[in-house]
Every structure is written in C-alpha cells, then in structure tokens.
Amino acid sequence: MKTIKITAAAAVVLIAIVALLLHNKAQSSAAVVNNIATKYAVTVVTAGTQTLSETVTLTGIIVANSDVAVVSETQGRVVAISSNVGDLKQAGAVLVQVDDELKKANFAAAESNYEKAKKDLERYESLYRDHTITDSQIEGARLAFKSAEAQYIVTRRQYRDTKITTPISGVVTSRSVEVGTMVNPGTVIGNVVDISKLKVKINVAENDAFKLTVGGTVNVTTDIYPGAVFTGRVASISAKGDEAHTYPVEISLANSREHPLKSGMFARVAFGHTGNAKGIVIPRDAIVGSVKDAHVYVVENDIARLRQIVVNAQIGTGVEVGGGLRAGEVVVVNGQNNLKDNTAVTVIAQ
C-alpha cells in the first residue's frame, strides 16, 4: 500500500512538471508569434518643404472665334446658289440669290423719282434765292425731295437684300436652302464660322478663378495631336459664377496650319500657378482616409503613430500640408493599410 502511494505521488509531480513545461513553451511561442505579427514592414518618406507651384488642368470645348447664322431679310424664291458646305467665303460674298425682278423695277422707279426730285429742288432753291417763288413752294419742293429720297433708300435696300451675303469671312458649315426654296425674313439659309482664331470655353472653380488674370498665358493640348502644345491667352473671366460656384472662362488661341483645329473639339487647358511661399508637401499616397479628413502615420522610434493633418491643396501627385506635420518627420507612404495607432514597424525603404 505504501509503495502504491509513493508511485501515485511521483506521477502527480511528473504530470505537474510536464504541464508547467508545456505552459512555458506555449507562452514563449505565443510571444514569438505576437512579436512577429505586430512588426509590419513599411515604406516611408521624410516630409520636406518646397516652393509651392501648382498646375490646374481642365477640359473645355473649342469654339469658333465667330459663328454666324446667315438669315434672309427678304421674301422670295431662291434662283441661284453660290456656296457649298466647306467653301471659304470672304465677308460680303453672295451665298444665295433670291428672285429680284420686282424689287429691281421698284428700285429703278424710285431712283428716277429721286433724281427728278433732286433736280427740281436745285432749281427751286435757285428761284427762291432770286425771290421768284414763295416760301410754300420751296417747302413743297424740299418735302418732295425728302419723300423721294426715303423711297429710294428703302427700295435700294430691298433690292440689295435679294443677294444674301455673309457678314464675316469664314467657312460655310451648313446650307439649308436649294434653288426653288421660298424664303421669308428671318429664314436661316446657312451657317458660317471663322476658325482663323479659336476660343476654348471652360468653367473654373472659384478658388482657381481668382488666381487667373486676363491676358495670362496657358497651354492647350488635344487628343487629336498628342505632344502638340498650343499657346493660348485668357481672353475673359466672367464676373458671375453659376450654381456650382464655377466661373466661365474663355481662352483665345490662333489656329495652327501645321495642326489645324476645328470647332467642337475637346481641349485640355493647363493653368500654371507659381508662388514664392514655401510649404510642406508629402505624397498623396501617404493620406489615410479622405483629403477633407486626412490622417497620416508618423514613424517615431520604429512606432507608427496615427496623426490628423490639414490639407491645403493638392499639387500634382502630392498635397500641401497646412497643419499637423513638421518638416523632417518621417511619414508612411506604403503599408499603412495594416497599421493601427502605436504599431511597431520595420522601415524597408525611404
């Protein structure tokens, strides 16, 4: 019996020793695993100061310098067409001829009456100076001349309006009448655009609109001519914004013979803003969350600490920091997705 008790006690002691060893081993393994799990590799940059410069690129539409709908000012039947789509016409060139037989006859009659009234007035003025005729007679001659002159001017204009001309020099982009078409005053017979000079219309946010000046130089590019850069100038900045707080801006540029542009094309306008002030700039990739509620991880003694910062503006692929970060501090730019505040890290690149 005594032997059995001794054996049992020894077994209990042995089991306790084994359990203690296993417990210590488990704790050691857990510590090692925990240590490995909380050491994350990250890439960092050092926050530095630089002269602040900014380029804002916006997309707009190229429009013609002048875009005119040619409208008929007379009534009648089209008898001749002297323009086709694509034709280059000088200002004053005839595009469409309307039947002018009656208006020509009216003008000829009015012209004859005008000439007669003019000669009669000259004769009456001579007689009046010699006191040969009365005041009422000279007044009648003067009134007759004015009436004939007015009729002459009206019929001359009506006759001229039968030749529908373009008011600007440019390219005919459309024609809506043919021979035999009846037109009335107000009928649009075609469209002419002047693309020797062009305008780019864009809407600029209020923060950027106040940085622009009329006459300032900008760069204009298109997808049609990759690599070709056109120089434009700010022609106008609207004094009134829209509901989205953007301001219409027009950019003027000369059309290029080497790379001709057309009205209706898309264009990208690059506004460059450069200042003398210096600021702290970090890559946009360092931001955790949105720019409006921006945070970054700052590494201190191999510990990543989450810190809120203020972003003043986006500059290319970087952001200007307005507060919450000092120059020289080390910021995580890659690997922060695995981090939490006060996480141990290993810097693998800088």
Q: How far apart are CA 335 and CA 44, in angstroms?
A: 9
> Quick check: 274 pLDDT over 80?
no
Nearest CA among 223, 168, 219 for reference residue 195: 168
Q: What percent of the chain has pLDDT over 70?
A: 86
Does residue 36 have a pLDDT over 70?
A: no
pLDDT band, residue 60 (cuts 50/70/90): very high
100-107: average pLDDT: 97
| Mutual angle of helices 101-129 and 135-160, in 10-degree steps | 160
Torsion over CA: 204, 206, 207, 208 (sign): positive
Rounded-to-integer distance, Cα 148 and Cα 343, Å? 100
CB 60 within 8 A of CB 253: no
CB 299 within 8 A of CB 333: no
> Could you give all domains of the chain from N- to C-terminal order, each with its CATH number?
40-56+277-349 (2.40.420.20), 57-63+195-272 (2.40.30.170), 102-159 (1.10.287.470)
pLDDT at residue 152 tops 60: yes
**Is there a contact between 85 and 176 (Cβ–Cβ < 8 Å)?**
no
**pLDDT > 80? residue 7:** no
CA angle (310 as vertex; 306, 314 as ends), nearest 5: 115
Q: What is the pLDDT of residues 323-347, one digit of tens each?
A: 899 999 999 999 888 899 999 998 8
pLDDT of residue 21: 54
Residue-wise pLDDT for 65-103, tens only, equals 999 999 999 999 999 999 999 999 999 999 999 999 999
Q: What is the pLDDT of residue 81?
A: 97
What is the number of other CB atoms lying within 10 angstroms of the CB of residue 193? 21
Alpha helices in 161-235 (DSSP H): 206-209
pLDDT score, position 35: 45
When comparing pLDDT for 100 and 4, which is higher? 100
- The yes-or-no verdict on residue 223 having pLDDT over 70 is yes
Report how far residue 343's alpha carbon sits from residue 30's, in angstroms, rounded to the nearest whole number: 18
Listed in sequence order, the residues at least 6 apart from 267 whose beta carbon sits closer than 8 Å to its beta carbon are 59, 60, 61, 62, 200, 220, 221, 222, 261
Choose the weakest-confidence range: 13-22, 37-46, 120-129, 172-181.
Answer: 13-22
Pairing of strands 48-71, 266-283: antiparallel
CB atoms within 10 A of CB 54: 16
